[in-house]
């Protein structure tokens, strides 16, 4: 069970990080790479927020319920 807990925590962290990057690109605050289709596109802000929330929920579940 310890391996599952660590795996879900790492996966949740990666999902949260990707979500934050998508929010940054969608809002135009993180315009890298310059040719990205996600820059200044508001749907990517919403998708990033949902992904970040899912990642945080995964971390919470892994830490709280898997022992």
d(C-alpha 44, C-alpha 52), whole Å = 12
Reading the block at residue 22, the tokens are 């998508």
Task: Quote the number of domains for the chain.
Answer: 1
pLDDT of residue 11: 97
pLDDT of residue 43: 95
Q: Which domain holds residue 42?
A: 2-64
pLDDT of residue 15: 98
Residue 62: φ, ψ to 5°: -65, -40
Q: Enumerate residue ranges in the chain where pLDDT < 70.
A: none
The answer to pTM > 0.85 is yes
Burial 4-40 (b: 16+ CB within 10 A, else e): eeeebbeebeebbeebbbbbbbbbeeeeeeeeeebbe
pLDDT of residue 65: 87
């Amino acid at each position: 069970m310890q391996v599952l807990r660590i795996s879900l925590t790492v996966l949740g962290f990666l999902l949260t990080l990707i979500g934050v990057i998508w929010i940054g690109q969608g809002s135009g605050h993180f315009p890298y790479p310059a040719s990205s289709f996600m820059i200044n596109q508001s749907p990517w802000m919403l998708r990033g927020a949902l992904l970040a929330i899912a990642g945080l929920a995964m971390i919470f579940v892994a830490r709280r319920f898997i022992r």
